Chain A
Amino acid sequence: EVQLVESGGGLVQPGRSLRLSCRGSGFTFGAYAVAWVRQAPGKGLDWVGFIRSKASGGAIEHAASVKGRFTISRDDSKSMAYLQMNSLKIEDTAVYYCTREIEGASGYWGQGTLVTVSS
C-alpha cells in the first residue's frame, strides 16, 4: 500500500525557518516525482512545487510565491522528501501535503502537517 507521511510541522515565528519531511513507503520512492501542496485554513489548494525523479532528470520547480524562500529536495536512499522553508510569513500558515505523482498529477497524498506562522 502506498503511504506518505509528513512530519515537522508546528508553530513558528515570522522570519524563522522550518523543515518538513515526507516519508514514502509501499513503492519505489526514487522512481516517482514528489510534489508539495498546501492549504490555508478554510481556503483552496495551493501548489508549492515538485521534484522529479533522478531518472527523469531530477528537475525542481517552486511556485512563484515561495521561490527563493522554500527549497524542495529528496533523499531516495531514505525514501524521503523535504521542504525547507525559510523567512516564513504569516500567510504561509497552512496544512502542507506531500504527494506522489501519477502522470503529472498528485495521485497519492499524505495526511498533511500543519504549519502555523505566528508571533
Chain B
Amino acid sequence: EIMLTQSPATLSLSPGERATLSCRASQSVSTYLAWYQQKPGQAPRLVMYDVTNRATGIPARFSGSGSGTDFTLTISSLEPEDFAVYYCQQRYYSGTFGQGTKVEIK
C-alpha cells in the first residue's frame, strides 16, 4: 500500500500570507496526485488533480507542483475562505489519502 505523509499537520498563517503544503509518497505515484479542501461540516471539494490542474471554480492563487514522490500545494495569498483542512490523494495504485494539513488563522 502506498502511504502519503502530509506536512505540516497544522499551518498557522494570516490572510494574505503564502501557504505551502507538502505531500510525500512512500513510492512513486507519477502524477496521479490530487488535493482536496474540506471545511467543517462539509463534504470535501476537489482543488487540484493530476498535480497541476485546478478543478472547476478553483481560483488561480492555488497551484500544485511535483512528481514521483514529492508534491506541493501552494496558496499564493490566503483568503479568509481558504482556511480549511487539505488532503492529498494518490490514484496511481488504489486510492490512499494523506492524513491532512489544517490551515488555520494565526
Within 8 A of A (CB), among B75-99: 87, 89, 91, 94-99
Residues of chain B within 8 A (CB-CB) of A110 are 43
Complex formed: what's the CA distance from A50 to B94 in Å? 9
Select B34's contact among A64, A105, A109, A111, beta carbons within 8 Å: A105
Residues of chain A within 8 A (CB-CB) of B100 are 44-45
Any chain B CB within 8 A of the CB of A103?
yes
Q: Chain A 95-119 against B: per-residue CB contact (8 Å), 1 yes, 0 no? A: 0010000111111111110000000
Q: Chain A 47-79 against B: per-residue CB contact (8 Å), 1 yes, 0 no? A: 101100000000001011000000000000000
Any chain B CB within 8 A of the CB of A83?
no
A112 near B43 (CB under 8 angstroms)? yes
A104 near B50 (CB under 8 angstroms)? yes
Any chain A CB within 8 A of the CB of B68?
no
Given contacts A64-B1, A110-B43, contact A105 B96 (CB under 8 A): no
Any chain B CB within 8 A of the CB of A35?
yes
Any chain A CB within 8 A of the CB of B62?
no
Any chain A CB within 8 A of the CB of B11?
no
Select B55's contact among A35, A46, A102, A111, beta carbons within 8 Å: A102
Given contacts A44-B97, A44-B100, A61-B94, contact A105 B43 (CB under 8 A): no
Any chain A CB within 8 A of the CB of B16?
no
B43 near A97 (CB under 8 angstroms)? yes
Complex formed: what's the CA distance from A64 to B1 in Å? 8
Complex formed: what's the CA distance from A31 to B100 in Å? 30
B36 near A106 (CB under 8 angstroms)? yes
A50 near B95 (CB under 8 angstroms)? yes
B43 near A104 (CB under 8 angstroms)? no
The residue on B at minimum CB distance from A4 is B43
A44 near B99 (CB under 8 angstroms)? yes
B50 near A45 (CB under 8 angstroms)? no
Residues of chain A within 8 A (CB-CB) of B1 are 64
